[in-house]
Amino acid sequence: MLVAKESELRERYGVHWRLTGVATRRTGWLADPGGLHPLALLNGHWPAPPADAPRNVREWLERARADLLFEATSLNAQHGQPAIDHLRAALEHGAHAISANKGPIVHAYGELTALARARGKRFLHESTVMDGVPIFSLFSAGLPAADLRGISGVLNSTTNVVLTEIEKGRTLEEAVKHAQALGVAETDPSADLDGWDAAVKLAALVIVLMGVPLRLEHIRRTGIRELSVEKIRAARAAGMRYKLVCRAERRAGAEAPVHAIVEPELLPLSDPLANLEGTSSAIRFDLDVFSLSLVEHNPGIEATAYGLLADFLRAVHAENPAGR
Amino acid sequence: MLVAKESELRERYGVHWRLTGVATRRTGWLADPGGLHPLALLNGHWPAPPADAPRNVREWLERARADLLFEATSLNAQHGQPAIDHLRAALEHGAHAISANKGPIVHAYGELTALARARGKRFLHESTVMDGVPIFSLFSAGLPAADLRGISGVLNSTTNVVLTEIEKGRTLEEAVKHAQALGVAETDPSADLDGWDAAVKLAALVIVLMGVPLRLEHIRRTGIRELSVEKIRAARAAGMRYKLVCRAERRAGAEAPVHAIVEPELLPLSDPLANLEGTSSAIRFDLDVFSLSLVEHNPGIEATAYGLLADFLRAVHAENPAGR
């Protein structure tokens, strides 16, 4: 995405970039302040690690002279690590921290936003919910002084694909394999099937958009494993569909300020959520002034990459808006 | 809306306001730099005009010492007046210009944005399309460096209400009266029924979001009058619905850079646009990186008021972001 948009970033936004570090579990901490070649890396041409290669995230950020970090490790719903450590290290190093990982929002949102503010840097996370669809930017720039009272949506692609495939006649196991082949399900699909992915997304939305520090254990969570194949197909035959739905609602005067649930719901086909196919997702925001839904139609992996790119522009362009 | 949100504006945004002028066709140019009482005015208590009352928009802006103008006259699709004159006068006076009227975008967007930039003020118009739903803010803040290739949507509430009422058994005339009673149709409904309102909205989106100065006469426009009551009901009985759909598409290498149409389309119920009821509207944006739809669910008049309020905050809060 950086390469594809390189000339537009330069000509329209006055933004130049250089890739000075890449780290993965397999290849370790690769850094070169002179610049790495993204297309060569994508084609598998990795330079051999030098004898004095960085040994941890802090050494790596130093060596790379990083101005900005893209964090894209996979979700750990229980504690949000190692993503939180990476983002904290980036901000302490003096770099902007861009996360595609929603664990840090649920487990360290207050700390990371405060740290970013103290360092004059940005902690941005647009691609954590609905890929690159600008949910968080929509609220901060587009909906000032509006009161968010409720959120509902279908936010997990894997269960969406799996339920559709079961409707078509596949078993749960075959349907999961199909979702993995599409690249939407992880090798271990339990985070999706048991509703963890959906719950973490819902918590991230409540924490950032409602300003309520909701904890995962306060979300009533039911996955889709308990639904039998027969039940799913019978619903479809009767003109209804099961979807894994997330709901959060402000409750004035209640024990908890927000009531949050993730569970399979049986929806009539006239419900906009029922018509979601493939990797599509949808969310509805009930505000005091109106209700608004956003639907993302069958995104691919470039939608997530775009979310990271847009955060990059928001972070660095604000430093130098004259470039616009 | 200003009164309802007054304490939030003050406490959360550090924004104080005073209403120093109101002008309507009926009451003329009312100004008082000391402040007018919005609730008294809403209840019909208008002060008698003094002998030296302002005689035109410029005298009125001077007398009111206006920092910001809300322009909410009704649409003139052919030339965009008198709204353009009001907005130009406000910017030349040194005030921000906020418009709920889409005529000025179609007929004077280049002039008004250039004038605003030259004066260091804002020309904002969020409530012109889909009321307060942040369409224009979404693109400027949320979708940097994304390429908008196509727009499609149902953007006119009156035709939506009228088609639904005809499906239910009403005549065109009864259906229009129902839409007028709901407050969505004007006394003269032809701008809606003939597709002018939809065409002006589509042109505004193309001009601002695609950067192409599309003219109304280049939009192929067909209203809903040509649809017979029988045709509309037969479609509904067959599980389909007519909707007045707007479409715009970039055409590389074509005569015109954008191909734009407003016309009734027969849609299957599985199409998200087919399920819109009442005053709801929907729009789909096809970008290079993903496709995204926004749906506004049955808004009332406060949705438009909120769009004006949000523009007000965007204009004045940017002057003093420390207040946030």
pLDDT at A270: 77
Residue listed under structure tokens 């096809």 = B286
The pLDDT tens digits of the residues spanning B67-119 come to 999 999 999 999 999 999 999 999 999 999 999 999 999 999 999 999 999 99
Helix (H) or strand (E) holding B109: helix B103-119
Q: What is the DSSP letter of B56?
A: S
Give how far B309 is from chain A: nearest CA, Å.
9
CA pair distance A208, A123, nearest whole angstrom: 12
Give the C-alpha separation, A48 to A128, whole Å.
Answer: 32
B243 is catalytic: no
This model of the complex carries an ipTM of 0.94
Low-confidence ranges of chain A (pLDDT < 50): 322-324
Inter-residue contact B274 to B241 (CB < 8 Å): yes
Give the mutation candidate from B276, B292, B312 for the A interface (greatest A CB count, under 10 A).
B292
Say which of A131, A140, A291 has its CB closest to residue B290. Answer: A131
User: Is the CB of B280 inside 8 Å of chain A's CB atoms?
Assistant: no
DSSP-derived pairing of the beta strands A148-154 and A281-287: antiparallel
Residue of B nearest to A7 (CA): B145
Contacts of B296 in chain A (CB under 8 A): 290-292
pLDDT reported for residue A318: 67
Per the structure block, which two tokens stand in for A58?
Answer: 């802090």
pLDDT of residue A323: 39
Report the C-alpha gap between B216 and B199 in whole angstroms.
7
Q: Do A272 and B295 touch (CB under 8 A)?
A: yes
Q: Are A129 and A205 in contact (CB under 8 A)?
A: yes
* Amino acid letter, A214: L
Interface check for B317 against chain A (CB to CB < 8 A): the answer is yes
Sorted by sequence, the CB contacts under 8 Å of residue B91 that are 6+ apart come out as B97, B112, B115, B116, B119, B121, B123
CB B246 within 8 Å of CB B153: yes
* Tokens describing residue A39: 């297309």
The tens digit of pLDDT for each residue in B253-304 reads: 767 899 999 999 999 987 888 889 888 999 999 999 999 999 999 898 899 9
Q: Which residues contact A294 (CB under 8 A, 6 or more apart)?
A: A130, A133, A135, A138, A282, A283, A285, B292, B293, B294, B295
Nearest CA in chain A to B293: A295
Q: Of A147, A28, A114, A203, nearest to B4 (Cα)?
A: A147
Task: Judge contact between A87 and A119, C-beta under 8 A.
Answer: no
Start-to-end Cα distance in chain A? 20
- B252 against A120, higher pLDDT: A120
Which one of B137, B290, B320 makes the best mutation probe of the A interface by having the most chain A beta carbons within 10 Å?
B290
SS (H, E, C) A201-230: HHHHHHHHHHCCCCCHHHEEECCCCCCCHH
Judged by a CB distance cut-off of 8 A, whether residue A21 touches chain B is no
Among A9, A269, A292, select the one facing B294 at the smallest CB separation: A292
For chains A and B, CB pairs below 8 A equal: 134
Partner B contacted by A9 (CB < 8 A):
yes
Q: Looking at residue A185, what is its pLDDT?
A: 87
Q: Do B142 and A145 touch (CB under 8 A)?
A: no
Given an 8 Å threshold on Cβ–Cβ distance, is B313 in contact with A270? no
Ramachandran class of B155: left when φ > 0, alpha when ψ lies in -120 to 50, beta otherwise: alpha
For B179-221, the pLDDT digits (tens) are 999 888 888 899 999 999 999 999 999 999 999 999 999 999 9
Q: Which domains does chain A carry?
A: 6-132+302-319 (3.40.50.720), 145-298 (3.30.360.10)
Whether chain A has a CB inside 8 Å of the CB on B264: the answer is no
- Mean pLDDT, to the nearest integer, of B20-28? 94
Is the Cβ pair A295, B293 closer than 8 Å? yes
Looking at residue A100, its pLDDT comes to 96
Q: What is the pLDDT of residue B255?
A: 75
First-to-final CA distance of chain B: 20
pLDDT at B320 over 60: no
**Nearest CA of chain A to the CA of B117: how many Å?**
13
User: Which residues 6+ apart lie within 8 Å of B150 measured at CB?
Assistant: B247, B248, B249, B250, B284, B285, B286
Average pLDDT in chain B = 94
CA distances from B261 to A136, B108, B216, B282 (A): 32, 21, 10, 16
Q: Look at the alpha carbons of B113, B123, A286, B305 in this order and tell me if their dihedral is positive or negative.
A: negative
Q: What are the E-state strand segments in B18-142?
A: 21-24, 28-31, 68-71, 96-99, 123-124
Q: Where are the beta strands (DSSP E) in chain B?
A: 21-24, 28-31, 68-71, 96-99, 123-124, 148-154, 219-221, 240-250, 258-268, 281-287, 291-297
State the Cα angle at B130 between B126 and B134, rounded to 5°.
45
Establish if A153 touches chain B: CB-CB under 8 angstroms.
Answer: no
Q: Cβ of A138 and B133 within 8 Å?
A: no
Per residue in B136-161, pLDDT tens? 999 988 999 999 999 999 999 999 99
Integer Cα distance of A46 and A253 in angstroms:
57
**CA separation (Å) from A68 to A38, A61, A133, B97?**
16, 9, 21, 37
> Cβ contacts of residue A128 below 8 Å, gap of 6+?
A99, A100, A101, A102, A105, A201, A204
Residues A13, B313: C-beta atoms closer than 8 Å:
no
